[in-house]
Amino acid sequence: MSNESEAFTRTLGVDSGRLRLARSQEIAGVSAHLAAQARRELLIHDPRLEPVIYDQTLFLQAVKQLALARPGLCVRVLLSDPRAAAQDGHRLIELARRLTSRIAIQRVADEDQGSLDALLIVDATGYVRRRLVDGMEAIADYDDSPSARRWRLEFEERWERSSADTELRQLFI
């Protein structure tokens, strides 16, 4: 991104235009900034639940704020191996343990394990999309409803095929 502070002046649902993010700090910062503006839902699909992005204080504060403000399930996370994140002490997993009716974490179905993208979708309006084959490079947009809605539908389909990880569920108890 040419001007890192440019992203932090954007408003969800107002400021459109694709941002190119080339470092993990940029991706983490934009993800937290977008999440802080969420009013309805956060959807995360990341095979590893990348700690450098999702286990950061600002992001976790945004998730907690949304989860406490919204009734029902407003944060959903799809992972390839939820147990690995739990065993590593990921703080988003810990937050989900405390707010089980607001934050759900599930294991993607076997047929969806090969996904090439990691996604954060905010209110079906903004997103951060990271091509896993590109490492820590991503694109983001604060106001691209057509793309965000399309990816949200794909997320819903994957969510329907996903399952609660039995070992993760035991860890929650």
pLDDT band at 167 (very low <50, low <70, confident <90, very high): low
Helix or strand holding residue 62 (H, E): helix 57-69
Give the list of residues 6+ apart from residue 73 with CB closer than 8 angstroms, or none: 101, 102, 103, 104
Tokens of 158: 């994957």
Q: Are 138 and 107 in contact (CB under 8 A)?
A: no
Number of H helices, E strands in the chain: 8, 7
Per-residue pLDDT, averaged over 34-58, amounts to 95
In this prediction the pTM is: 0.91
- Asked if residue 136 lies in contact with residue 23, where contact means CB atoms within 8 angstroms, the answer is yes
- Distance of alpha carbon 93 from the chain centroid: 12
Q: Is residue 117 pLDDT above 60, yes or no?
A: yes
- DSSP 8-state class, residue 163: B
- Total count of residues recorded for the chain: 173
Asked if the model's pLDDT at residue 99 lies above 60, the reply is yes
Using DSSP's 3-state secondary structure scheme, residue 118 falls into strand
Amino acid type, 44: I
Q: Rounded mean pLDDT of 69-91?
A: 88
